[in-house]
Amino acid sequence: MKKIYLYDTTLRDGAQTEGISYSLEDKLGITQKLDELGLDYVEGGWPGSNPKDILYFQKVKKLKLKHARVAAFGSTRHAKNKASNDPNIKALLAAKVPVVTIFGKAWDMHVKYALRVSLEENLAMIYDSVKFLKSRGLEVVFDAEHFFDGFKDNAEYALKSLQAAEQAGADCLALCDTNGGSLPFEIEEMTANVIGVLKTPVGIHAHNDADTAVANSLAAVRAGAVQVQGTINGYGERCGNANLCSIIPGINLKLGELSLNDKQLAKLTSVSRSISEIANVAPNDHQPYVGWSAFAHKAGIHVSAVERKSETYEHMDPGLVGNKRRVLVSELSGKSNILLLAQKIGLKLDPDKPQTKEILQRVKELEHEGYQFEAAEASLELLMKKATGHYKKFFDLKGFKVIVEKRHGELVSEATIKLYVNDQLVHVAAEGDGPVNALDGALRKALDKFYPGLREVKLVDYKVRVLNTGAATAAKVRVLIESQDKDNLWTTVGVSENIIEASWNALVDSIEYKLLKK
């Protein structure tokens, strides 16, 4: 078992993702998460490119990192400069970090048409830059940009670019599939070829334009690469970079090599989701290993089999990466789904009693009407508790009214609610940013003195889906509401031709779920 070193570039390559823009605080927070995970290198950015990255390298020194070494990224010297007075090289030194990564051209076409220098001058630029940085006591990673495309066109020159860096003392030679179009068998063959010629440790830096970045990275490791570069959740320009959340368990659990220890590996799912939150990007529920749906089972026959032996429909134990198995209940579900979910929430159902069949039948009827319980487990739990007598009614609605009017050029929404709590009539009104917000405010206001614990509940997401678009403004809608308190996150659902009624049903489920938990 050999050690594979993990080099993360979420803060640089990941920042090139369309829609992602990190603040300085975001970058520092992500650095801490990556260090907690146990990654070997965190590439902080390009200190010569923008003020934020310059400030990052100043601030990151105050973090008490336990494992990760921070790297600065830049290019080889400019053709007209000496390495000692090149602005980019100076910026790398000014970052004052222990590791620098510089990229240079390994494809002769790029040398001729992008750099517009001679092939010999490009090799000198690589050699001089690495040599100078090594003379300053730094660990140097050389990223051979476009290496695999260059090797296909001119293998001799692509190897010469690596040899220039090796002769200058580079600590690692990262082979880059910069355009992301290579396939795993090509990567493995070319990586093995390099390792057979050179003595310096080799790494892999893959992009995902052909949807093969993870496979390419694992193929390079099979061929002998000992460093893997990538990003958390596969963030990156165009189609993204190699996804470390898939590569890490691939190395440990599939190839049998070592990238993280077992304790670190178990943090992978939480770190993936935390970085999604920091980046303000919705997590990919269907992402392998760490996605919310990665170990979700819907078909009844699958659930029945997994219950007996998990290996029947799971390629690994989800707990190894900090994820968990989920049993979904829908119109495709069997009895096994209902029984397992009931067990999860503490209900004992007899598989042979009509009650269990009635719950399943009710779920199927509601899903036919447009409900979706896969994403609204809190509403499903309420349904099951109502069916089994484990439900308590906390209030009785007498009625509500929602008004939207334009006052002084502005739209104003107001909701009035009448309801009974413990036989006491409560009549309140509240304004909001919209009709649903006003209704939510009025309901909370009515229940506040009876159930003060509701004050800690926040509505964190609200989604509306039109179910039958052909009906135009008379279409049925499905509303999903995500709520959160200090300990939990839950989702509820409502369906109606009236968006206010659908929203009300989802709101009530959210409140009742919280109260039942208390």
pLDDT (tens digit per residue) in 343-358: 776 777 777 777 777 8
Residues 104, 60, 16: CA angle, nearest 5 degrees? 45
Q: Are 97 and 239 in the same domain?
A: yes
Q: Are 363 and 250 in the same domain?
A: no
Distance, CA of 179 to CA of 264 (rounded, Å): 31
Asked whether residue 389 is domain-assigned, the answer is: no
**What does residue 326 show for φ and ψ, rounded to 5 degrees?**
-125, 135
pLDDT at 302: 63
Q: Are 47 and 98 in the same domain?
A: yes
Instruction: List, as one string, the DSSP characters of 442-466.
Output: HHHHHHTTT-GGGGG-EEEEEEEEE
pLDDT at 363: 76
Q: Are 159 and 197 in contact (CB under 8 A)?
A: yes
Q: Are 225 and 260 in the same domain?
A: yes
Distance, CA of 384 to CA of 391 (rounded, Å): 9
Q: Which of 384, 416, 441 is the last residue of a domain?
A: 384
Q: Are 219 and 326 in the same domain?
A: no
Q: Are 355 and 217 in the same domain?
A: no
Backbone angle region of 80, left / alpha / beta, with phi > 0 → left and psi within -120 to 50 → alpha: alpha
Asked whether residue 422 is domain-assigned, the answer is: no
Q: Are 270 and 310 in the same domain?
A: no
The string of pLDDT tens digits covering residues 131-177 is: 999 999 999 999 999 999 999 999 999 999 999 999 999 999 999 99
Distance, CA of 96 to CA of 103 (rounded, Å): 19
Q: Are 43 and 151 in the same domain?
A: yes
In the three-class reduction of DSSP (H, G, I as helix; E, B as strand; rest coil), residue 379 is classed as helix
In the three-class reduction of DSSP (H, G, I as helix; E, B as strand; rest coil), residue 4 is classed as coil
% of the chain beyond a pLDDT of 90: 68
Asked whether residue 481 is domain-assigned, the answer is: no
Q: Are 206 and 270 in the same domain?
A: yes
Helix 87-94, helix 119-135: angle, nearest 10: 30
Q: Are 352 and 271 in the same domain?
A: no
The pTM is what?
0.73
Distance, CA of 11 to CA of 55 (rounded, Å): 14
Q: Are 135 and 201 in the same domain?
A: yes
What domain range is 312 assigned to? 296-384
The string of pLDDT tens digits covering residues 7-58 is: 999 999 999 999 999 999 999 999 999 999 999 999 999 997 788 999 999 9
Distance, CA of 57 to CA of 46 (rounded, Å): 10
Residue 269's CB is within 10 A of a number of other CB atoms, namely 24
Q: Which of 384, 411, 438 is the last residue of a domain?
A: 384
Asked whether residue 187 is domain-assigned, the answer is: yes
The string of pLDDT tens digits covering residues 55-69 is: 999 999 999 999 999
Q: Are 206 and 129 in the same domain?
A: yes
pLDDT at 459: 86
Largest CA distance in the chain: 90
Asked whether residue 260 is domain-assigned, the answer is: yes
What's the whole-number mean pLDDT along residues 413-430? 94
For CA atoms 231, 234, 235, 238, the dihedral sign is positive
Asked whether residue 453 is domain-assigned, the answer is: no
**Number of structural domains the chain divides into:** 2
Residues 505, 508, 512: CA angle, nearest 5 degrees? 140
DSSP annotation of 158 reads: H
Asked whether residue 32 is domain-assigned, the answer is: yes
Q: Are 194 and 159 in contact (CB under 8 A)?
A: yes
In the three-class reduction of DSSP (H, G, I as helix; E, B as strand; rest coil), residue 363 is classed as helix
pLDDT at 466: 85
* CATH classification of the domain holding 138: 3.20.20.70
What's the whole-number mean pLDDT along residues 372-384? 80
Give Cα separations from 108 to 103, 127, 161, 281 (angstroms). 14, 16, 10, 38
Asked whether residue 449 is domain-assigned, the answer is: no
CA-wise closest residue to 395 among 371, 362, 427 = 427
Residue 292 banded pLDDT, cuts 50, 70, 90: confident
Q: Are 177 and 211 in contact (CB under 8 A)?
A: no
% of the chain beyond a pLDDT of 70: 93
Q: Which of 348, 369, 384 is the last residue of a domain?
A: 384
